[in-house]
Amino acid sequence: MLRRERRGRAARDGGADEMGITSVWGISPHDGSVISALEPRMRPLIESVRALPESREAWQRWAVEPLPDWRSWYGRGDDAGRGALPERERERIDALIESFHGLTRAGPFDELYDGRCEGDDFSILADVWSDDFGQLVPFLAVHSKDYAVPALFHAIGSERAALIPGWTGNFVLSAAQVRQSLPQIEAVFSFTAEQRAAAEDQLWLDVRPGEESVLDGPLRCWREAAAHGLGLCGAAVHVW
């Protein structure tokens, strides 16, 4: 079970040592009262991050110049062709990777974990992920020293990722919006056998036996929420 630990300002503002981070991407079903309470907090934050010029520029850069095989990143894969590239080309690819990580990693939405300030007692662990889900099961991708959303987005590409509501895995949707967006989510996560194999090949996350993949969990949550007339909350945050 995730536990809440209030972090210092350095962690929230990006000064934490990345080697010690744990991130969670959660998608959880809620009734209308919970969604209505979340909207004033989440929707303005999501829209403000989406509207940032650097956010739009980073997305457009990724869309225009897709990243290479993840095994060639950061010198990990001379056998993947990186070693044969001119230095200037390696620097260009490194800049694309950093831009992509800046776009997709948890961070801008960390106030959802432990509030906007010391006097704000909101916690997504206590106020959202500890809701009574009945027989439904939220999707929680918990990773130490890694992030679910960047891995998923790299695996499926920008065209599919652009169909996911909200911004980089963060959203708050009413029951009606869940139903309306289900067809596009079906499109995002429906693969031929060849497409599925290609996506799994580019998904670098370590998944324990029996753990639900990021290629499966989101669609399951959407289908279940639509079937039960519920809304959805998606949030990607650092938890410690």
Residue 126's contacts (CB-CB under 8 Å, 6 or more residues apart) are 4
More confident residue, 107 or 51: 51
Q: How confident is the model at residue 130 (pLDDT cuts 50, 70, 90)?
A: confident
Beta 231-238 vs 139-144: how paired, if at all? Answer: unpaired
The confidence band for 118, taking pLDDT boundaries of 50, 70 and 90, is low
Please give the pLDDT value at position 67.
94
Domain ranges, ordered by start, for the chain: 23-238
Q: How confident is the model at residue 7 (pLDDT cuts 50, 70, 90)?
A: very low
Compute the residue count for the chain.
240
- The type of residue at 167 is W
Pairing of strands 22-30, 171-173: unpaired
Q: Tell me: the pLDDT tens digits for 228-239?
A: 999 999 999 988
Confidence (pTM): 0.87
> Which one is predicted more confidently, 41 or 179?
179
Given pLDDT bands bounded at 50, 70 and 90, which one contains residue 9? very low
CA distance 199 to 151: 10
Using pLDDT thresholds of 50, 70 and 90, give the confidence band for residue 109: confident
Using one digit for the tens of pLDDT, what is the confidence trace for 132-182?
Answer: 888 999 999 999 989 999 999 999 999 999 999 999 999 999 999 999 999
Q: Would you state the pLDDT for residue 72?
A: 85
Q: Above 80 in pLDDT, residue 11? A: no
Average pLDDT over residues 19-27: 87
Q: What is the rounded distance in angstroms from the CA atom of residue 218 to the CA atom of residue 189?
A: 8
Q: For residue 206, what pLDDT band results from cuts at 50, 70 and 90? A: confident
The SS3 call for residue 41 is helix
pLDDT tier at 99, thresholds 50, 70, 90: very high
Q: How many CB atoms lie within 10 A of CB 188?
A: 21
SS3 140: strand
The pLDDT value given to residue 6? 33
Structure token pair of residue 89:
């080309």
Instruction: Tell me: pLDDT of 78 over 70.
Output: no
Tell me the pLDDT band of 77, cut-offs 50, 70 and 90.
Answer: very low
pLDDT tens-digit readout, 79-93: 456 666 788 888 888
pLDDT of 2 > 50? The answer is no
* Sheet order of strands, 171-173 included: 139-144, 22-30, 231-238, 171-173
Residue 173 CA neighbour count, 13 Å, CB half: 29
